[in-house]
Amino acid sequence: MVPTSPKILALSGGVGGAKLALGLAQVVPSDALTVVVNTGDDFEHLGLKVCPDLDTLMYTLSGLANQTLGWGQQDETWQFLDALKRLGGDTWFGLGDRDLATHVHRTALLAQGDSLSAVTARLMRSLGVLTQVVPMTDDSVATLIHCQNGETLSFQHYFVRDRCEPLIKGISFDELRNSTTIGADHGLAHRKTLQDDVRKILMPERGNDNEAAVAQNFVEFITPLRPKEAHISNIQVCRTRFELLLVRPVPDDNDRH
């Protein structure tokens, strides 16, 4: 039997997840690695669709990332923001000139009716990224920060503009109930509500929320996805915003030769 490469699914946030994905991409064949990226931090700014975590993955895997800042592109220039500041526009979110092109192009493609996954794949190919990188959902699932002063902020407004200073009363996810996982379009999960996926994985029914329970929920979640082809051979639940699932193909008798 010809040995097959392990199939790896990485669930990623931004900077930390991008470093994990880059390390995996250096040792795993591109057709064996899929990275599903958080879109809960996405928002509209200056009329543009901004996807911070997807862009961090794209710039990191393409070798364009700004290693000093940890976000954006290397050798970035800021003429757009300088001009916007002179006009009295909002400049609290750092949009470099090169980074701006990404947001403009993505927004235009989405306006044409393309899905976020299709747009992401197109952008990745344009920058030479071979690893399959997909958003966790094509739907909008915004992280909303509810402050004690009664104000509700998008995550970026809270984190970047207000520097995490407002006291938090709660956090919610806009449209989570109505969103769906990337599922059937990519062979990664069944089509169902993202809220169900989150609850199933991160809210154990075993009476505790420790790492063992969360890990077991991941096993139960991923196993039915490819029941005839794969089983879970290893799982590592990290203390950050991403988790790694390692799925090894199970040889079929017809593959023996």
Q: What would the pLDDT profile of 25-74 be if each residue is shown by its tens digit?
A: 998 888 888 999 999 899 999 999 999 999 999 999 999 999 888 789 99
| CA separation, residue 236 to residues 7, 9, 11, 77, 136 (Å) | 15, 12, 11, 39, 19
Which pTM value belongs to this model?
Answer: 0.71
User: What domains sit in the chain, N to C, each tagged with a CATH number?
Assistant: 7-141+176-255 (1.10.8.240), 142-175 (no CATH)
Q: What would the pLDDT profile of 201-247 be if each residue is shown by its tens digit?
A: 444 444 444 555 545 544 444 444 433 333 333 333 332 333 333 33
Residues 79/82/86/88 CA torsion (nearest 10 deg):
120
Structure confidence at residue 142 as a pLDDT band (50, 70, 90): confident
Q: What would the pLDDT profile of 5-21 be if each residue is shown by its tens digit?
A: 667 888 888 888 899 99
